[in-house]
Amino acid sequence: MNFNAIDISKIKIPFIEKGSLIKILLAMKLTVILMLAAVMQISAKAYTQQFTFSEKNASLEKVFKQIKAQSEYVFFYEQNVVDKAMPININVKKASLKTVLDLCFENQPLSYKIVGKTVVVKSVEKSLPTIPIILNLDIQGRVINDQGEPLEAVSVVIKGTSKGTTTNSEGRFNLTAVDENAVLVFSAVGYTSQEIEVKGRKIVIVKLSLFAAQQEEVIIASTGYQTISKERATGSFDIIDPQVLGRASTNIASRLVGQVAGLQSKLDVDGNPTFQIRGLTTLFAGTQSAAQVNSDPLIVVDGFAIEGGVSSINPNDVASVTVLKDAAASSIWGARAANGVIVITTKKASKNASLKVELNAFTRIGKKFDLDYANPKASGNETIDFEKFTFGKQWAASTNSGSLSNYSSLMPLVSTLLNENSLGYISEEEMNKQIAGYRNLSNKQQIYDNLIANPVNTQVNLRISGGGAKMNNSLSLLYENNQSNYKETYSKRYMINYQSSSKVFKWLDFNLISMFQLNENHNNGVSMGDISELSPYQMLLDKDGGYLNIPQYYWPVMERFVPMSSFPYPSWTYNPIKEIKNRDLKTNVLNFRLQGGLTFTILKGLTFESKMQYERVISDSRSLNNDETFEVRKSVNEASTWDQATNTIK
């Protein structure tokens, strides 16, 4: 498109002269200029208009009226939109319209727009929320204490959420789908909580420290009925160190030896302890001898006195032991606590705990006991000299008349020779010859080799526990095999413990503890009393390993008067080595214990608890001896009838 300039002087308009046309054009130009000036003046007036007023807790509509009163502006809005506005506090002086409106609509769910002389009010349009792109991580970690030991049951929670977990027995935890910028909160009872930023890490190691207040030792005592702090406990008591309770042993009593002041222990030859707390009770001092008085302390397990003793407790299930030592125990348990009380609390499964399997096993082999310490005796030669020196003295042991009626009056071998010589049955030369054969003999090694054993204890314990929000359970299985200090004397123990705790209703809890135990005791071996009766020079085996007779009768009388070969069993000899190999003396002890309880929550902080216990102990003994044993031969022979006139046996 082309534009060409036009020379107005050359344009010819009819009926209008050239001079008049120029005047008209000038007038038009002036009119346009005046109109533009007027419009600009009006616009400037609109934008430079100022408002002065003050309102307090006023509605938006009231402010609109103030603006309309001082200007020509009108407002366009819907009533339900303006009703959403919050009250306004405003104080302006010579402020522009935009300033006034910005103050009115600040923090309001409304917006405005000026169109000419109209102000349009509408609701704020809600924009769709933006969804951030989050990178999620699977995190593994471990929580330890200041000593580097793992901490169990530590709460691990993602801050700002309810998502979390707890650490296992090794202090380990796992969390899935965790924001790389999340913060993990670690907390545990007695420890200072920590907040750790993930910062894109997949492995987190955290060390928790004890509260400053927790650094001091906190002692909780159990009376069997309740657990109270040391400061509130009355009377004399001691609490066993938990580290001591963790030692390997065949019974919990072995762990208490030497741990409590005033708890006196006495070990039998197999190392099993019995206890006295601050000496014997005087409750029955006038009616019973010291041997008859029961000096054993009362054993309380999980709030109940038990009859099975410490042998009916799995040592691996024990959580705490408290020893009550004075009259305060009697105020709780009555006369049964006269000898003191040993309160034992067993382990319980934790709530919201994952399945936990523990296997403990150990074998302990001990040395044979020192025979010189357990059975201190003079040497063979010294014993022979002593028997010779004391024989025939009035203050010494009585002699045997050598008659048939004294067949059961035993005497040591050398004393028997001395007695036979005094009765004229053997010469002094024969006596001295036989006595000389006993000199320099010692049966100690034969006793060590054939009657005494190395004590061996083997124990295997399996414990399974776990729990949810409303129920937790634990099961422990124990097998134990104990070889005593004497050959052919040993025991086996089988034990099952089951515990369960459940929340039946919000106001009712149910607890169950059960125990089943079977003890098999084989007592075929000799005792220390049997060994003490042997003279030091009295051998058990000959040079070829044959059994030597350890007379249970006055042997010369038996040889002179009794037709031993005519009896059903012609052998009247006794040998302890042969005896223990041909008998089975067995005792089975069955112990069953059941504890149950209901806990009612009446009000917050007020509960009612009801408990019961049923326990039964059944003992069954069996003694089997074959005809190789002296016991059977003696019983049969002594039950026979001997007609001394005809020298016949019926």
pLDDT in tens, 253-306: 777 777 777 777 776 656 677 777 766 655 554 455 444 456 778 888 888 888
**Chain Cα centroid distance, residue 257:** 21
**Chain Cα centroid distance, residue 42:** 91
167 touches 175 (CB < 8 A)? no
The dihedral over CA atoms of 640, 643, 646, 650, expressed in degrees to the nearest 10, equals -30
pLDDT of residue 133: 52
Count of C-beta atoms within a 10 Å radius of residue 445:
11
DSSP-derived secondary structure for 469-504: SSEEEEEEEEEEEEE-SBTTEEEEEEEEEEEEEEEE
**Chain Cα centroid distance, residue 244:** 14
Nearest 5°: CA angle at 52, between 50 and 54? Answer: 150
Closest CA relative to residue 579, chosen from 629, 528, 631: 629
Class of domain 221-346: mainly beta
- Give the model confidence (pLDDT) of 405-414 as tens digits: 888 888 999 9
Residue 315: which residues within 8 A CB-CB, separation 6 or more?
A: 249, 250, 251, 252, 255
Q: What is the mean pLDDT of residues 327-348?
A: 78
Count of C-beta atoms within a 10 Å radius of residue 478:
20
Quickly name the fold that domain 49-123 has.
Phage tail protein beta-alpha-beta fold (3.55.50)
Distance of alpha carbon 588 from alpha carbon 519, whole angstroms: 6
Distance of alpha carbon 469 from alpha carbon 454, whole angstroms: 49
Long-range contacts of 624-631 (CB under 8 A, 24+ apart): 624/583, 624/584, 624/585, 624/586, 625/582, 625/583, 625/584, 626/582, 626/583, 627/569, 628/578, 628/582, 629/578, 629/579, 629/582, 629/583, 630/552, 630/573, 630/574, 630/575, 630/579, 631/579, 631/583
Helix (H, G, I), strand (E, B) or coil at 618: strand
SS3 of 441-464: the string is: CCCHHHHHHHCECCCEEEEEEEEE
Distance of alpha carbon 324 from alpha carbon 305, whole angstroms: 14
pLDDT band at 22 (very low <50, low <70, confident <90, very high): low
- Give the model confidence (pLDDT) of 519-575 as tens digits: 999 999 999 999 999 999 999 999 999 999 999 999 999 999 999 999 999 999 999
Percent helix, percent strand, percent coil in the chain, to nearest 5:
25, 35, 40
Helix (H, G, I), strand (E, B) or coil at 601: strand
Distance of alpha carbon 458 from alpha carbon 363, whole angstroms: 4
Distance of alpha carbon 439 from alpha carbon 417, whole angstroms: 14
Residue 436: which residues within 8 A CB-CB, separation 6 or more?
A: none
Q: Is the pLDDT of residue 12 over 70?
A: no
537 touches 438 (CB < 8 A)? yes
pLDDT of residue 125: 67
Q: Is the pLDDT of residue 25 over 90?
A: no
Range with lowest mean pLDDT among 24-28, 458-462, 488-492: 24-28
Domain layout of the chain by residue ranges: 17-45, 49-123, 136-211, 221-346, 353-379+442-650
Question: Which residues share a beta bridge with 463?
Answer: 358, 476
- Give the model confidence (pLDDT) of 186-229 as tens digits: 999 888 899 999 888 889 999 998 875 444 444 555 665 556 55
pLDDT band at 317 (very low <50, low <70, confident <90, very high): confident
Quickly name the fold that domain 136-211 has.
Immunoglobulin-like (2.60.40)
Distance of alpha carbon 471 from alpha carbon 468, whole angstroms: 5
Please indicate whether the domains covering 136-211 and 221-346 agree at the CATH topology level.
no
Handedness of CA 22, 26, 27, 28 (dihedral sign): positive
Q: Is the pLDDT of residue 474 over 70?
A: yes
628: number of CA atoms within 13 Å, CB side? 11
pLDDT of residue 38: 47
Burial label for 171, CB within 10 Å (0-12, 13-18, 19+), is buried
Q: What is the mean pLDDT of residues 442-469?
A: 93
